Structure 1
């Protein structure tokens, strides 16, 4: 369920992100960070592109859409070497062990358009 304080921002079409892929969209709608959208086991998940190792977060890709580790099993912060679970966002290896990525709630309409539900708190990141 969407928070009343959320604002829907269009990101992509569901078909734009294949199984085992992660892509960055944005920044969109005045937000400072990209949103990482990935598909794992048929489900879409989304995270702010901000490694929790630093208070303001650090962008994680070393080049466009390079959000996964070499074997495609984890989200990787290429600045710090941290690895994150693709479905939970929990850091499983690296300097931010025990922390996690900020989840972005998604909604998909009947046409397959994917929207992020962003809050004012996420705008500042």
Structure 2
């Protein structure tokens, strides 16, 4: 694939560019769309300094999105991600539910990397 075509498709050699790192506040969340295993999916991105973790935007409790509005996520006082529908609470190092109806289950992680100031879906 040529560099021009890759640019138009928003792709790189190793994956899909999701968004610039600067669009995520440090300690905050963002939402991005990507194709995962052939399906269009909403992703939750969480920035921790220069690192970003990503998960499918699907609560393991009821299979619904976690955001209360597109790209708007709730954060507990402890800094955990909270499902807007049923209050399931997820720690951010591994996406494990620590409180609520799906305690012990985890969000499905998606591999991303920060490359040249962009958050990129890691397809390596």
TM value normalised by structure 1: 0.75
* Higher alpha-carbon deviation: 61-70 or 44-53: 61-70
Pair 1:64-2:104 in alignment: no
Deviations 1:38-76 (A, max 9, x none): 11354211111000013xx21111113222325371111
> Quick one: distance in 1 between partners of 2:49 and 2:114?
17
Question: 1:40–1:87: 8 Å Cα contact kept in structure 2?
Answer: no
Bigger Cα displacement from structure 2, 75-84 vs 57-66: 57-66
1:38 paired with 2:43, answer no
Match of 1:10 among 8, 14, 17: 17
- Which residue is equivalent to 1:82? 88
More strand by share: 2
Secondary structure at 1:98 match in 2: coil
Mapped contact 1:20–1:72 kept (Cα < 8 A):
no
**TM-score, with structure 2 as normaliser:** 0.76
RMSD after superposition: 2.3
Which of 80, 104, 115 is matched with 2:120 structurally? 115
The structure number with the bigger radius of gyration is 2
Distance 1:67 1:44 in 2: 16
Q: Which has the higher contact order (CA 8 A, sep 6+)?
A: 1
Question: Aligned residues, how many?
Answer: 109
Query: Secondary structure in 1 aligned to 2:98?
Result: strand
For residue 56 of structure 2, what is the aligned residue in structure 1? 48
| CA distance in structure 2 between the aligned counterparts of 1:24 and 1:39, rounded to whole angstroms | 11
Question: Residue 39 and residue 49 in structure 1: after superposition, are their counterparts in 2 closer, same or farther (change >3 A)?
Answer: same
- Work out the CA distance in 2 between the residues paired with 1:35 and 1:58: 13
